[in-house]
Amino acid sequence: MNCEIIQRSWLRFWCVLPLISSIASLEALESLGKAEDNLLPICVPNDPTKCSQPIEMGQIATYSGQLLTTELAIDLGQRASFCETRMKLELVHASALAGIDLSLEKQLRANDKITWELEKKLLLERLEESKISPPWYTHPVFVATLTILAVGSVSFALCELAKQLSVVN
């Protein structure tokens, strides 16, 4: 993404620069009413769209340097910023991040699945346990009856013991 921004910036810079220089040069030439015949473009033999025009100090131009075609300016701008290398590195980095994110997401989903399976197993076990009736001796009616009988028996036994002790004394 950063490379796209850099490309757009370079593209704007290198596209506007020759345009402004060309317009300024043409206006100056028209105002003087003469054309310079000694300015011959220097072109790449394989690609005639990539040409440059040398400008000497004192010639009609806003600055000294080179007038470039848009295609050559874009090409030079990309090479100057190592855009191809950056794009490759950013692609490798983005792929690595995506791979890490994907593996993390897969691991989280696997953990969720394991947790869900364990919860399902636990709930099914509890459901099966709830279907089984408890043993008869743990029923509250039996426990309450047994407790009343035991307390009554102990109370009766203590009363009888107290009577016999009082008769003996």
* Domain-embedded: residue 28: yes
The CA-atom distances, in angstroms, between 126 and each of 41, 85, 133, 138 are: 89, 61, 13, 19
Residue 115 counted as domain residue: no
> What pLDDT was estimated at residue 138?
86
Per the structure, the complete domain to which residue 39 belongs is given by 2-81
Could you give the number of structural domains in the chain?
Answer: 2
pLDDT for the residue 150? 95
Do 106 and 19 touch, CB atoms closer than 8 A? no
C-alpha 51/C-alpha 30 separation (Å) is 23
pLDDT reported for residue 35: 44
For residue range 99-125, what is the model confidence (pLDDT) as tens digits? 899 999 999 999 999 999 999 999 999
Helical residues (DSSP H) of the chain, grouped into ranges: 2-32, 70-80, 83-131, 140-168
Whether the model pTM is above 0.75: no
CA 70 to mean position of chain CA atoms: 36
The pLDDT score that the predictor gives to residue 34 is: 47
Give the pair of three-digit tokens for residue 159: 């009363």
Q: Is residue 25 part of a domain?
A: yes
Within a domain: 122: no
Cα–Cα distances (Å) from 116 to 12, 127, 129, in that order, read 56, 16, 20
Longest dimension (CA), the chain: 154
Please say which residue of 64, 81, 98 terminates a domain: 81
Fill in the DSSP letter of residue 19: H
Give a yes or no: residue 125 inside a domain.
no
Say whether both 77 and 6 belong to one domain: yes
Q: Is the residue at 73 inside a domain? A: yes
